[in-house]
Amino acid sequence: MSGNSGIDAMFSTVRKLRRRGLHDAARRVVNRLYHQLDVASLEFPLLTGDVADSSCVTPPTASTPLDPGTPATIGWICTPPSAGSGGHTTLFRMVAELERQGHDCVLFLYDRHGGDVDQHARVIREHWPNLRARILDAADGIDGVDACVASGWPTAHVLALRTAGTPIRRLYFIQDYEPYFYPKGALAAFAEDSYRLGFRSISLGHMVDELLRTEIGIEPDVVEFATDTDIYSLENTGERNGVVFYEKPGNDRRGYSLARLALEEFHRRRPEQQIHLYGDTGTAWSIPVVRHGRLSPVELNRLYNQTIAGLGLSFTNVSLVPDEMLAAGNIPIVNELASARANLPHPDVVWAPATPGGIADAIERTVLAPDIPGRAAHAASLVRPGWDGTVQEVAAIILDEIYRDASDRGAGMTAERAG
């Protein structure tokens, strides 16, 4: 019996390999090892000792306000960026504006794996060459600054604990409602608690602002989204073909699986329309695609100008991608999301239900619409202005915090921006 059982098991394994393929089998083995070796613990974005608790964290100790007109030194805590990181690009715009206004900036890089800060600095210098800020390791201490700005929930926890008792103005620049990055659980709870740590919060866009008010009960300052009109612009006033999608398989909030199913259905209906992918290289697709890999902003603008439509999916806040597409005359298809329309009021945006069929329908309607060149020109003509106003507004909030007496800290600027 045992011999027959062994043979049966062997034939069962062979049948599974034939049915699923070696690639699928290899992935299953890797997945099993992933869980057995607890690799997920390496992805926890904080060292255990850096998890703050809003119920008992030391309240911020405000520094003596600087005299108006005195140059300030401002720290920014962020994780080490990779080339092309959109969140870091937005953050670094704010840093560059304060530098332009004559203030000193310091980047404190938080790498829970203890990476080489000099290597991280080389990446920043190469890909954000306009940034003059000193680059230090947060592990060596966060001090010597008048104010410090957290840039994501892990760095907010770090700021709370590593500056406890230090007289410093603490702020939090919030680009996404980050509890939405995760399923309901510990990580979502840690992200949510980061908004209760007592920092002055700056919300990018009205969707995050509304969630912070209704879900957390805080009143952030709110600033508007903008578009990089120095890079993204209309170059092609003629014919276009196809659809473009930012491929990021490991980031579920960008809707990779949903977009893939939608594009497969769209190809079945309209095989003459090319499907272009850029960004990270995922697994093989079952339909023909043109893979471009990582593109520079200039190259990406060129691709947007060649194509009719693009997918700009996001489930935690509207991304910058739809605005950049519009500036190039490409029509973005965006998933319906509560409060998202307030961040993206452009009339040429195509909103779609977050289902494969709903998105495929929206793509098909968009590529079959009449006068594609005329609509591209119309979309580009109504794009929102560049980043100058937003970065100046963020700089004004940070400087207001530095120069204002702590007892006078109120909701004046918040009410002004909310109105």
pLDDT in tens, 359-400: 999 999 999 999 999 999 999 999 998 999 999 999 999 999
Domain membership flag for residue 355: yes
Tokens standing for 314?
């996001």
Q: Based on the domain organization, do 343 and 283 belong to the same domain?
A: yes
Q: Based on the domain organization, do 352 and 305 belong to the same domain?
A: yes
pLDDT of 93-104, one tens digit each?
A: 999 999 999 999
- What pLDDT is recorded for position 58? 81
241-251 burial, b at 16+ Cβ within 10 Å, e below that, comes to: ebbbbbbbeee
Q: Based on the domain organization, do 393 and 412 belong to the same domain?
A: yes
Low-confidence stretches of the chain (pLDDT < 70) are 1-6, 8-42, 406-419
DSSP state of 146: S
Distances (CA, A) of 10 to 1, 4, 17: 14, 10, 11
Domain that holds residue 267: 243-381
200 Cβ contact partners less than 8 Å away, ≥ 6 residues apart? 169, 170, 171, 172, 221, 397, 401, 409
Q: How many CA atoms lie within 13 A of 42 on its CB side?
A: 7
Q: Based on the domain organization, do 89 and 220 belong to the same domain?
A: yes
Tokens standing for 268?
């079945």
The number of domains in the chain is 2
Q: Based on the domain organization, do 217 and 284 belong to the same domain?
A: no
Q: 232: closest CA among 293, 323, 314? A: 323
Q: Based on the domain organization, do 102 and 144 belong to the same domain?
A: yes
Domain membership flag for residue 14: no
Residue 217: is it exposed, middle or buried by C-beta count within 10 angstroms (0-12/13-18/19+)? exposed
- What pLDDT is recorded for position 417? 38
- What pLDDT is recorded for position 59? 79
Residue 280 contacts residue 250 (beta carbons within 8 Å): yes
- What pLDDT is recorded for position 69? 87
Q: What is the CATH classification number for the domain harbouring 57?
A: 3.40.50.11090
